[in-house]
Amino acid sequence: MKLDFTGETVVITGASSGLGREFAKAFSAKGCRLIMVARREARMRELAAELSVPCEILPADLSREDECNRIIETIAGQGASVLINCAGFGLLGETVGHTLEEELNMIDLNVRAVHILTRRFLDLRREAGTGAILNVASCAGLLPAGPYLNTYYATKAYVASFTQGLAQELADAGSKIYVGALCPGPVYTEFTKVARGQEWSSAKTPEEVVAYAVKKMEKGKTLIVPGAGIRAGLFGTRLVSRRMATKIIGRGQKGRVEAE
Ligand SMILES: NC(=O)c1ccc[n+]([C@@H]2O[C@H](COP(=O)([O-])OP(=O)(O)OC[C@H]3O[C@@H](n4cnc5c(N)ncnc54)[C@H](OP(=O)(O)O)[C@@H]3O)[C@@H](O)[C@H]2O)c1
């Protein structure tokens, strides 16, 4: 499958920061019309002012099902052919150290919103039979478990699994609709601050990750893992038991938990 996004209408969630913001820049460079979704409207307006393509700003809290549905109903009929599901967050620390409400909010955003938007966007594209959906998972979603960033790892495992399965179903049906999962390792964004952790000692820039992701999307790649080091690390965890891998990952994440 070869895809060309030039001039398409692209919906990007999480466009106010980090990877989502970078996706907005990358697709604007391809002359795409953008529909940006996140909570911080002012941030998206500032970004739109920098870009030389038409941008629609849709402020929304995607952890709410009614807001996800409102977004789909707003974009229906606007001919959007690409959806980048990028909004998401994690929380570092012991699972029991977070309130249940915080954890459920993460599941609502990282899992439920991605599922709702993917399903309903596919419905919107059914008649045209073309389009693309990129779900931003994480390399966390390809690992057995992630103590001290535990619920986040579990949510990303859902996204990676759901997306890969869906891509196979679409391929089996001969569909021209592309579905892919982006699974980056560490990236310098606001993620760590939101997760209440210490900044990565080494990470990729959003520019590097997004340029790689778009290139792979254009080639129709389903599972996109930027960085040879991350791919080697993922392979390495398969050489030890799941229990051992979980222990090693947990040590790393525990070290990033910010001291109170
Ligand atoms: N940074 C990394 O190391 C890394 C690695 C692997 C995967 N990822 C994934 O990459 C994606 C983007 O994260 P990032 O690293 O770019 O972090 P970021 O800079 O914190 O961006 C997160 C985005 O999600 C949006 N968001 C958060 N809660 C939302 C809500 N309830 N409703 C709507 N939008 C919401 C934020 O916008 P508002 O606050 O304005 O709503 C923001 O635009 C996430 O899915 C993350 O899990 C990140």
| Distance set, CA 64 to CA 24, 44, 68, 116, 134 (Å) | 23, 20, 7, 11, 20
Among candidate residues 113, 53, 103, the one with its CA nearest the CA of residue 83: 113
What pLDDT, on a 0 to 100 scale, did the predictor assign at position 85?
99
Q: 9-254 has which CATH code?
A: 3.40.50.720
- Residue nearest (by alpha carbon) to ligand 1 atom 7: 138
Over the chain (260 residues), the average pLDDT of each successive run of 10 is: 96 98 98 98 98 98 98 96 98 97 98 98 96 98 98 98 98 98 97 93 96 98 97 96 97 84
Instruction: Kindly give the distance from the C-alpha atom of residue 128 to the centroid of ligand 1, in angstroms, as a whole number.
Output: 30
- Residue nearest (by alpha carbon) to ligand 1 atom 8: 138
What pLDDT, on a 0 to 100 scale, did the predictor assign at position 87?
98
What pLDDT, on a 0 to 100 scale, did the predictor assign at position 260?
52
What pLDDT, on a 0 to 100 scale, did the predictor assign at position 258?
75
Contact 154, 198 (CB under 8 A): no
Residues lining ligand 1, CB < 6 A?
13-14, 16-20, 38-40, 43, 60-63, 86-89, 109, 136, 138, 184, 186-187, 189-191, 194
User: Which of 156, 191, 200, 204 should be mutated for ligand 1, with most atoms under 8 A from CB?
Assistant: 191
What pLDDT, on a 0 to 100 scale, did the predictor assign at position 8?
98
The alpha helices in the chain, defined as continuous H runs, are 18-28, 41-50, 65-75, 100-107, 114-125, 150-172, 191-194, 206-218, 228-237, 242-254
**Nearest-atom index, ligand 1, CA of 88:** 45
Active site residues: 152
Say if pTM beats, i.e. exceeds, 0.95: yes
